[in-house]
Chains A and B, each alone.
Chain A
């Protein structure tokens, strides 16, 4: 899941400065699940903005709307019509949604209401944790399924650095040392010898350093 969080109200008030009519557009995808951009969040944001605006002595017409997903054309394309008389669409989807609206609705001024943070898992209500970096070159088979790229502060490939102490990462005692965990995991799986192997220097091209990534499946193409 893509994890996101709302930008601060100040940022958003700043963004809508000068608008008379805006649409706050939620997404019932990932951001709804991580309580960042679903119907509820849209409503709260609308009220908060209204309050903020009123305190500035301003009044903006705010329409609240939520799409099933903002990452599919079928939900996005109607906006060309529906949002045409709004000064801005404040999207509460992840960055993908904002980009998609921007791509497909040429005349619409789309604004991001959220910061898209990471690929994470919902540990419990209100807690999400990064698990993947989307690096495009998975080494999880070598690391007991635990990703050193996403979960090691220095993205080390060959074991814990000298800062690993008591299973904690040196950068923050609250952060577990993923290499300790990998070590433990592999040991548990009797695969600890694999850690003697040197992981070669990574190819970061698939991690986005080779340009915007794109995937095509011929069989599914229309």
Chain B
């Protein structure tokens, strides 16, 4: 399993994640998953990603006030915050989970987020 788990909504990422990898835009160990709406992401899913081996987890949603589903990315960001708290409770770096916002079809922010998180995971990776 990849070291880094990313979630992004359909509207944010218009290309296949593998294509980005192929182009070398995002690191190999980033597992980017397209989901219909980040608002559908629940806290347990994010937590489970960690449980399943991710060193870092990130979510890229619509711009907070321009969500395709109106409040999807807002909810996602609240849940990410909740996860951050839980990570803190578990003595984990809350920075290992992050919410990013991207405009419709903009690839750069997703690539940027993946790099940031890869670097956080690399730098902040903790031994198991």
Residues of A at the B interface (CB closer than 8 Å) are 8-10, 40, 43-44, 46-48, 50-52, 54-55, 57
Specify which chain A residues have a CB less than 8 angstroms from the CB of B47 in the assembled complex: 44, 47-48, 50-51
Closest to B42 in A: A43
Query: Which 6 pairs between the two chains have the least Cβ-Cβ distance?
Result: A47-B44, A47-B47, A9-B89, A44-B43, A51-B51, A52-B90
B90, A9: Cβ atoms closer than 8 Å: yes
- Interface mask (B55-96 → A, CB under 8 Å = 1, otherwise 0): 000000000000000000000000000100010011010000
Does residue B23 face the partner (Cβ distance < 8 Å to A)? no
Closest to A52 in B: B90
Specify which chain A residues have a CB less than 8 angstroms from the CB of B92 in the assembled complex: 55
User: Chain A's nearest CB lies how many Å from the CB of B91?
Assistant: 8
Specify which chain B residues have a CB less than 8 angstroms from the CB of A47 in the assembled complex: 43-45, 47-48, 51
User: Chain A's nearest CB lies how many Å from the CB of B4?
Assistant: 16
List the count of A-B residue pairs having beta carbons below 8 Å apart: 44
A55, B90: Cβ atoms closer than 8 Å: yes
> Contacts A43-B42, A43-B44, A54-B51 known; A48 to B90 CB distance under 8 Å?
yes
Residues of B at the A interface (CB closer than 8 Å) are 42-45, 47-48, 50-51, 82, 86, 89-90, 92, 128
Query: Which of B42, B44, B92 counts the most chain A CB atoms within 10 A?
Result: B44
A43 to B44, CA, bound (A): 6
Specify which chain A residues have a CB less than 8 angstroms from the CB of B45 in the assembled complex: 47
Besides A52-B90, A54-B50, A54-B51, 4 more A-B contacts (Cβ < 8 Å) are A47-B44, A48-B86, A50-B48, A51-B90
Q: Could you list 7 A-B pairs, sorted by A, with CB under 8 Å?
A: A9-B86, A10-B89, A10-B90, A43-B44, A44-B82, A47-B48, A48-B90
A88 to B92, CA, bound (A): 26
> Contacts A54-B51, A55-B128, A57-B128 known; A44 to B44 CB distance under 8 Å?
yes
Specify which chain A residues have a CB less than 8 angstroms from the CB of B51 in the assembled complex: 47, 50-51, 54
Closest to B44 in A: A47
A51 to B92, CA, bound (A): 10
User: Chain B's nearest CB lies how many Å from the CB of A14?
Assistant: 12
Specify which chain A residues have a CB less than 8 angstroms from the CB of B82 in the assembled complex: 44
Query: Which of A9, A10, A46, A48 counts the most chain B CB atoms within 10 A?
Result: A48
Specify which chain A residues have a CB less than 8 angstroms from the CB of B128 in the assembled complex: 55, 57
> Contacts A54-B51, A55-B128 known; A46 to B44 CB distance under 8 Å?
yes
Specify which chain B residues have a CB less than 8 angstroms from the CB of A46 in the assembled complex: 44
A57 to B86, CA, bound (A): 18
Specify which chain B residues have a CB less than 8 angstroms from the CB of A40 in the assembled complex: 42
User: Chain B's nearest CB lies how many Å from the CB of A63?
Assistant: 14
A48 to B89, CA, bound (A): 9
Specify which chain B residues have a CB less than 8 angstroms from the CB of A51 in the assembled complex: 47-48, 50-51, 86, 90
Closest to B45 in A: A47
Specify which chain B residues have a CB less than 8 angstroms from the CB of A44 in the assembled complex: 42-44, 47, 82, 86
Specify which chain A residues have a CB less than 8 angstroms from the CB of B50 in the assembled complex: 51, 54
User: Chain A's nearest CB lies how many Å from the CB of B22?
Assistant: 32
